[in-house]
Amino acid sequence: MTLFEEFHAGTLNLHSLNFGTIILLPKSSEAKQIQQYRPICLLNVSFKIFTKVATNRLTVTSALTDGFSTWKKYNGGVVILHETLHELHKKKRNGIVFKNDFEKAYDKVRWNFLQQTLRMKGFSPKWSSWVQSFVQQGNVGVKVNDQVGSYFQTKKGVRQGDPLSPLLFNIVVDMLAIMINRAKDAGNIEGLIPHLVEDGLSILRYVDDTHDIEQVKNLKLLLCAFEQLSGLKINFHKSEIFYFGQAKQQEESYSHLFGCSLGFFPFRYLGIPMHFRKLSNKDWALVEDRFEKRLSGWKGKLLLVGGRLVLINSVLSSLPMFMLSFFEVPKGVARWEILCQPKDQGGLGILNLDLQNKCLLSFWLFKLCNEERVWQQLIRNKYLKNKTLSQVEKRPGDSLLVGLVLRVSNITLQEENDVFIWGLRTNGFFSVQSMYKYLVNSNKRVLVTKDNLSRRNWHGDKSCAFCGSTETIQHLFFECQYAKFLWRVVHMSFGIVPPLNAGELTGSGYGPNCSEMKIKHKWSFRAANG
């Protein structure tokens, strides 16, 4: 705390802590030229504590600039882009999507432009001076062949490896969003899908949209002006352009104007393959490649079974989580039924990626009903259209994410807005871990029902409180007359064929390609308290 007090008072010599060592990480196994290496700056731990605290305080960027949000916060930009592509293709609307690539982005940020941006956004002079001391007063040395060269002071850019750098870069690029939005307000360019997003979608981090040749020229002019102001360089050779509707008739003119190539689907956005159609098993190959790449470095024959399980659960199971948060994993990619059973039930306790996939997807519904962001606006305008969730019906041609909307009915308790309460946690907030545990337990018959309690030497009444029959998981959820009544209500409301057992309840996937909607947990509601 003494360091923070001195820093806040301006008496700390931060320059003595602001040293970093640049190491070069190869982008591929065949890297030979300097351009094929990625410079990462290793900073003093004490210095990184200050920048990490500043990072936690910095949340000012546009609602559409989710490019550097951590996946744990669920990146709404992926949802927006997916629904935009689906809408353009399905409705045959005119438009182009330009996916731009910044060349050596972090290294080219101009410090004076960063300071001007901070002042324009209303940061205090004291905060701006802190950022200036973080960015401009550092010294770095390059480590090559285990030898660190002489330290020198940089003249521009932000350092990769600094926790604050992604957000500072995002603030700089957010100015491009502001420039494009002002051009849109002036009528110089138009946004896509204005019927779904207010004023139309004109920019999503690294994706800019328009469809008229004159407007495309205006967009190119804006990009060039932004290059001169910020110091960032757009690599048009690595950028891609996608055409929809009548825009395909002028694709040669567009490509020549931007000097970039025609893009093909699926393309990657934040590491996620994007397509207006359902992803095939081939598109999931990148997940399998990550597994194989990680496994190739393990000496499996030298590891005991326990060590292998630890590595699988701690390393391999985490690799596909970001992608599993958006799309349903095909059965041919993840089938671990036996190995994923808990250890006390004869399995190995390996994470069930299929169930984890469903838990991750379920979080979007919780977010849809409890937040107000651009992607929620798009989903509501595209699918709900002033209807309640219970009134929305699945339609042929709906996108892969529409299944996340059609999950629960609207229940009005009083004249106030309802909020979702996740019944598996006392605080009412959704957690993937709690849902995963519930699904595994319900499918493996280990929930605390009276028949299970009797196996643990409990001598109470085994009768169902509703009908008097023996209380089991099968009876409680599927055979009891009250359970059957609730399933009939669900069937009449949503057209869902009631499952016969817990295996059917948890074994099916999300998504519009399923013949029926699968409910994974009974949602509870309560009225908001104001």
Which three-class secondary structure state does DSSP give residue 76? helix
Tell me what pLDDT residue 255 has: 80
Q: Residue with structure tokens 């040749």?
A: 213
pTM here is 0.61
Separation CA 290–CA 271 (nearest Å): 12
CA-to-CA distance for 331 and 436, rounded, in angstroms? 18
CA atoms within 13 A on the CB side of 288: 10
Cα–Cα distance list, 208 to 200, 203, 219, 380, 480 (Å): 11, 4, 8, 23, 55
Structure-token pair, residue 109 = 């940020």
CA torsion, ordered 134, 168, 271, 75, to nearest 10 deg: 120
SS3 string, 392-405, reads CCCCCCCCCCHHHC
Are 438 and 505 in contact by the 8 Å Cβ rule? The answer is no
Q: Write the CA distances from 123 to 59, 60, 112, 167, 484, integer angstroms.
A: 12, 10, 15, 14, 59
CB atoms within 10 A of CB 28: 8
CA distances from 86 to 19, 63, 80, 379 (A): 48, 21, 10, 12
Residue 402: closest CA among 421, 422, 382: 382
| Residue pLDDT, tens place only, 195-221 | 777 666 666 543 444 556 788 888 889
β partners of residue 243: 96
Give strand pairing partners of 281: none
Helix (H) or strand (E) holding 90: helix 76-90
pLDDT for res 332: 64
pLDDT of residue 517: 33
| Residue 210 pLDDT | 53
- In terms of Cβ atoms closer than 10 Å to its own Cβ (0-12, 13-18, 19+), residue 282 is exposed
Radius of gyration, alpha carbons of the chain: 27
Query: Half-sphere exposure of residue 311, counting CA atoms within 13 Å on the CB side?
Result: 13
Question: Per the structure block, which two tokens stand in for 68?
Answer: 């550097």
* The predicted structure's pLDDT at residue 204: 57
- Cα dihedral 168/170/171/176 (nearest 10): 140
Whether omega for the bond prior to residue 266 falls within 30 degrees of 0, making it cis, is: yes
From first to last of its 530 residues, the chain has per-residue pLDDT tens of 787 888 777 778 888 888 999 998 888 878 888 888 888 899 988 888 888 888 887 755 445 455 444 434 456 778 888 888 888 888 888 888 888 888 888 889 999 999 999 999 888 898 899 899 899 888 899 998 889 999 998 899 999 889 899 889 988 988 988 898 888 888 888 877 777 776 666 665 434 445 567 888 888 899 899 999 999 998 888 888 888 877 666 777 778 888 888 888 888 888 888 888 888 888 888 777 877 777 776 666 666 767 777 777 777 777 777 887 787 777 666 555 655 666 665 555 677 777 777 777 777 767 776 777 777 788 778 777 776 655 666 666 666 555 544 543 333 434 455 566 666 677 777 777 777 776 666 655 556 778 878 877 788 888 888 888 888 888 888 888 888 888 887 777 656 677 777 666 655 433 333 333 333 333 333 333 33
Residues 84 and 521: their CA atoms lie apart, in Å, by 30
Taking a C-beta distance cutoff of 8 angstroms, is the pair 14, 131 a contact? no
Kindly list the distances between the CA atom of residue 80 and the CA atoms of 83, 174, 276, in Å, as whole numbers in the listed order.
5, 17, 12
Question: Beta 240-244 vs 272-274: how paired, if at all?
Answer: unpaired
pLDDT in the model for residue 395: 66
The Cβ-side half-sphere exposure at 180, using a 13 Å CA radius, reads: 30
